[in-house]
Chain A
Amino acid sequence: MDLNDSSDDSITLEQESELLVSERLAALVVGLPGQKEILYGIIDFCRTPQSPTSVDQKTLEMQTVKKSVYSPVVLRKLLEESGALMYLQPAEPQAAEPQLTVPPPAESQEAEACNDDDPDYLTVTIRPEGQWVATDEGLSAIDSADPFAELKQLLVVEANYRDVFLDLLQYCAKESRSQKELDAFVQENPVTHKPRRYGGYFIDRLEAHKAIVWKDNWSTTEIGKEFLARNSYAGAQV
């Protein structure tokens, strides 16, 4: 929600927000392909209120691209508009609760700020910095995912590639791997030859299910390692 947006849209969204945050967040994820982990990561990071600077830092750490299209400020803006995050103004002395981000009308601003001796001029007083925190709806949207169930389902739907997936998880659990290495690895298994499946086929699915993560190379996540263990995969080493 834009503090300075005096259109009516934000008020309408506010009224509907409680029911629709999960849907709006889902739509946001669809509209920013490849950004899901970062968006969820920001919400997760803001379980407790965080300063803008720390959210900036965390966001930049999570981004796998040095120069992303979306700056940390813009990502927060979009998350706020979806209702998953909110900005906490420093509490006004008269206010008992944190306020939402609709600014007070300009007139009252003027009354506060007009401290110049000359009544023909207004001077500016900037409000202090606030904090970002995840909304309950935002948290429940990200907490509702069950990656283990999803991974299990993946191996049901793609039963013929079960071994390839598990081998790959194990391969990346031992040490992190480049895409080329993964590509060569999967092609060693003849089941990937006809129909043709390249490394990307498996990488995309495991990444989407949070079993592997990219940080200069591909590594198995804790979820992926746990999944290996749960599957009692022959020779699985966590």
Chain B
Amino acid sequence: MNEISLTRRTFLKSAAAALAIAGASGALVPTKSFAEVPPQSDDGVTKVRSCCRACGKTECGVWVYVKDGKVIRTEGDETAFNSMGNHCSKGQASIQAAYHPDRIKYPMKRTNPKGAADPGWVRISWDEAYQTIADNIMALRAKYGAETLFTWCGTGRQWCMQSDAGMAFQLFSTPNVIAAYQVCKGPRHFASGMDISRSWSWSEVINHSSVYLNWATAPEISNYDDSSRLVVDCATKADTFISVDPRMANLGKESDFWLNLRPGTDAALALAWCNVIYKNKLWDDLYVKRWTNAPFILVKDMQPTGYQCMSNHPFEMKSRLLTEVDIDPSMVDWQIEGEGNPYRYLVWDTLKKRWTYWQADPTDAHWEGENWTPQTKGKKQDSSRMMPNQRFDGWIADLSPFNPEIDPALTGEFDIKLKNGKTVKGRVVWDIWVEQISKYTPEYASEITGIDPKVIENSALTWATRKDPDLPNGGIYYGLGVEHAGNSTQNCRAILAACGMVGAIDTPGGQRGATQGWAGQSGPTSMLPSMASFAFMPTPEVSAKMAGVDKFPLLGWYGVWCDAETAMSYAHQEPESPYFIHGGMIGSGDHMNMGNANYNWEALSMLDFLFETNLWHSPSSGMADILLPVAHWTEVDAHRIAQGASGGFLLCCKVVEPPGECKSDPLLFLELSEYFGVPAFDGPVPWPKKSETVDPEILSLNIECGQYATWVAEVLDDIPNAASPKLADWIKSRYKKPPAPDEVWECMVRDYQEHGAWSMKEAYPADWGTYRRFETGQAYYPGMHQVPVQRSIGIPGFPTPTMKQELYSTIIETFHGDPDLCLPHYTEPVHGPVADAERYKEYPLQAITGRRIPVYFHSEHRQLPWCRELWPVPRMEINPADAQKYNLVQGDWVWIESEWGKIRQTADLYYGIKPGTINLEHQWWYPELAQADKGFSLSCCNCLVDTKVQDKYNGSSVVRTYPVKIYKATPENSPFNNPVPCGDDGTEIITSSTDSRLKDWLIGGRGVQPDKFNEIGD
């Protein structure tokens, strides 16, 4: 047997090396990171069904494989009907994001001044972080008023936005929510919120309409709410694929019609389509007469009148659409009671040649003499064009006839005898509309848009000419491009008008809005679960101070975001600010998403206090005082109801614990509320602590998804139309009684693992499963969009003030006063070459941006090696003819300069963009630069933006369609004599996939080679 022995030498060596730690204080107390466990083999691999958030817009179903507490693989869920197994390159880089060594895993605070290249971050506890945040925010509030605070977020870490609005409203009590929403889908929702119902800008892509139309979006690559594989499938299977895009998009090159319009002229094109629809009598006459306010009478020469309406909050609508209160009672042949009913809109009946009315009172809405009941006649949807697992057959309500029969006049001018004795003229709204669109012949629109008039006409005819006499061919899938030239609201409204004219509202493939189902949107704008927290909302007095509401009064109506550019000017302490903004919270890199990025960065630097919630040290953290580490999607539980119209309801199922001290956004929001004294939950325990048995996130999810339990109960009780027969049977096979309130999430997760993605058409046949819900009384959802389904609403029409699709917007009239603004109309993009011709003399090219990039989601993923290797530098697409003119070859670095800033991107020669226009990439920054701003000012195209021009109604920034000049970057005209952008210390950015910073895993003094890392050099 061997003996243990020591040589003397070894003993001495050891003794000489040994620490003499023992002193007066005793030996070092060992930390205990390990526990004894019985012998075990490995865990094996678990496969969990979830959905991906690499972009945060489409809820692509995925499988996540987990072994030993780590995610080892993600892949598309082939059964997810909404995404068809899609898992894009960003999604596939998810593991690189989750396990990136630079993830922030602990709350941090700075010890060096803002803007310092080294912020001097130091770790702090969550308690210290929360307390510091609460103390600073509340101190600023006490000193300067709640209006001095703001939040600013874009797409959030689980889905949609972060808990920014909830935090702003309920913890800070400020109305100043800056949200990327203002330039991203917000204008669409703004427009559809005014005209139809919030979010009904969204078309039902999954329908696989015979005519598929992509307008100002290229979602084959990436987000939006329906994208990638689904969109490709729809486009390729359609009989006709129409693409409206100044640029030839990847999928767009397969289109049958490519309408390559001049940027920002979308409304002109839409009005031309309306012209074609009208000229060819393709409008849906019954829909227009019965469900829009086109037959109403506009009397310009009278005082506007109205009544209280609901948005997120009540407001007084006032309009010059003629109602009973405006007229001399002798004008009509019925007895007017009292001063008249302000809800009764007069309409001329051409059949009986008399006035009649529509009563837009939600408690008693009807046409004169009508005994309105929900429509019961209709037909089953033909879903044969869809994939087999997408065929959840809906039911399409027929358009109901007028009963009693009337035929509202669509043309005509009438003598109107007003109550004040005056006789004035009143004209049918449609009449005015027709006059307006008559101007927009294809030829006229061609002059504006640059599209061949035949293409305009034929594409419109193809889209609008019905194949099925009862149904329009489909709707319009329109995206960001229409929202960025400073005329966003009316662009969107013009497109909706075209859809309304053909009756493509809540029809298969038509504009149906965000999916309705068991829950509202996940995470976003999330409010605290408690009712008690609503007592902390901004007071009306404080709300009146919302940044920008004076300039953009409709922001008060919409009640979600404040104006970003105004808020930043207040933070920048512009002398004209009515107050300054001193502090708040930011998401990730949001200063780059609208307005001028450099100006915003300066504004952030002037804040007394700013905190950021993020996974990374992004550009905006260079200005933050405190960083809060948040969770990756694989570490988060969340429900995900489709923001689009796919009908999908999926779950994101947490598979691993977040590392370090990361917390999900909802959790930190819940916990932070305690430090503000705002109850997160109702009842005796307003702030339950996370423990073995209690999880506040799950408690919150149980509340958010509580309707699932209600729904299961309804199915078990066999209430009529509780669910589709197939889904009802499935539920009955699993449940004898509904889940208890504290088991909802657990049950949903279990059910989801087995069932996969649910379709809300199956869950709510009488709501999401029914088309033309305005006929069945299920479209009346005023206020915020996407609230859980309410069965049996029983109110006809839409939640607009007139309860009709408002071709003529009473809301615009209320807040802007001018009737000439109220029909959709075209205004030149304010910085386009027509309206801004003078500037184009010096800045002759028109810049657009914002296209989808396969490996990035806006500013995200620049730091993931796989992504950056594929797409190392920003590319400015330029027509080869222009490139030649400017002496540029492929890959050259180019200066792009506007009156308001300058940046560099690389030239990418592309015939798919017209001469005279260049297409920049947006939100670039450089993780490899060790400086506070991470080099965003080198290439972020929003450094070129003019902050003084915005959409008149919703305030959206002009982040596309502005004049620039370009010239080659040379050593002579570039800092550090280097055409390649460099950091403040001269470090060149990564420009190629072969850059050692992407390849090597050792930098530093000693030359250890990757394949010989056991050998240590000198």
Contact = CB atoms under 8 A, between A and B. Distances in A.
Asked whether any CB of A lies within 8 Å of a CB of B in the complex, the reply is yes
Interface of A: 27-28, 30-34, 64-70, 74, 77-78, 120-121, 178-180, 183, 195-201, 203-204, 214, 216, 218
B113 A196 contact: no
B145 A180 contact: yes
Contacts of A216: 142
A68 B113 CA distance: 14
Contact of A70 (B16, B111, B131): B111
Contact of B132 (A28, A68, A74, A204): A68
A31 B111 CA distance: 11
Chain B binding surface SS class: loop
B208 to A, nearest CB: 52
Contacts of A64: 139, 143
A69 B134 CA distance: 11
Given A65-B135, A67-B135, A121-B20, A32 B626 contact: no
B229 interface: no
Given A28-B113, A77-B111, A120-B16, A69 B609 contact: yes
Contact of B113 (A32, A67, A204): A32
A31 B606 CA distance: 8
B606 A33 contact: yes
Contacts of B111: 70, 74, 77
B863 to A, nearest CB: 26
Interface stretch (B166-174, B298-306, B480-488, B572-580): B572-580
A94 B885 CA distance: 76
B593 to A, nearest CB: 23
B578 A201 contact: yes
B585 to A, nearest CB: 14
B688 interface: no
A200 B144 contact: yes
A77 to B, nearest CB: 7
Interface string B108-126: 0111111110000000000
Interface string B1-28: 0000000000000001000100000000
Given A67-B132, A201-B578, A31 B113 contact: yes
A53 B668 CA distance: 35
Contact of B144 (A31, A68, A179): A179
B672 interface: no
Interface of B: 16, 20, 109-116, 128, 131-132, 135-136, 139, 142-145, 147-148, 545, 550, 573, 576-580, 582, 605-609, 625-626
A65 B136 contact: yes
7 contacts: A28-B113, A65-B136, A67-B136, A69-B625, A74-B111, A78-B113, A195-B578
Contacts of A196: 550, 578
In the complex, the 4 A-B pairs of residues with the closest C-beta atoms, listed nearest first: A31-B113, A200-B579, A34-B608, A67-B135
A9 to B, nearest CB: 11
Contacts of A27: 113
B154 to A, nearest CB: 24
B333 to A, nearest CB: 48
Given A31-B113, A214-B143, A200 B580 contact: yes
Contacts of B578: 195-198, 200-201
B579 A198 contact: yes
A178 B145 CA distance: 9
Contacts of B136: 65, 67-69
Contact of B143 (A32, A120, A203): A203
A178 B143 CA distance: 8
Contacts of A31: 112-116, 605
B131 A67 contact: yes
Contacts of B577: 201
A64 B113 CA distance: 19
B145 A183 contact: yes
A23 to B, nearest CB: 14
Given A66-B135, A67-B131, A179-B145, A34 B609 contact: yes
Contacts of B135: 65-68
A203 to B, nearest CB: 6
Contacts of A120: 16
A212 to B, nearest CB: 10
B437 to A, nearest CB: 39
B147 A200 contact: yes
From B128, B579, B605, B626, residue with most partner A Cβ within 10 Å: B579
From B113, B136, B550, B607, residue with most partner A Cβ within 10 Å: B113
Given A32-B113, A69-B110, A196-B550, A203 B606 contact: no
A30 to B, nearest CB: 8
Given A31-B116, A33-B606, A204 B145 contact: no
A168 to B, nearest CB: 14
A69 B605 CA distance: 15
B139 A204 contact: no
Contacts of B144: 179, 200, 203-204
Contacts of A77: 111
Contact of A69 (B20, B109, B115, B576): B109
Contact of A65 (B113, B139, B550, B605): B139
A185 to B, nearest CB: 13
Given A31-B114, A31-B115, A69 B143 contact: no
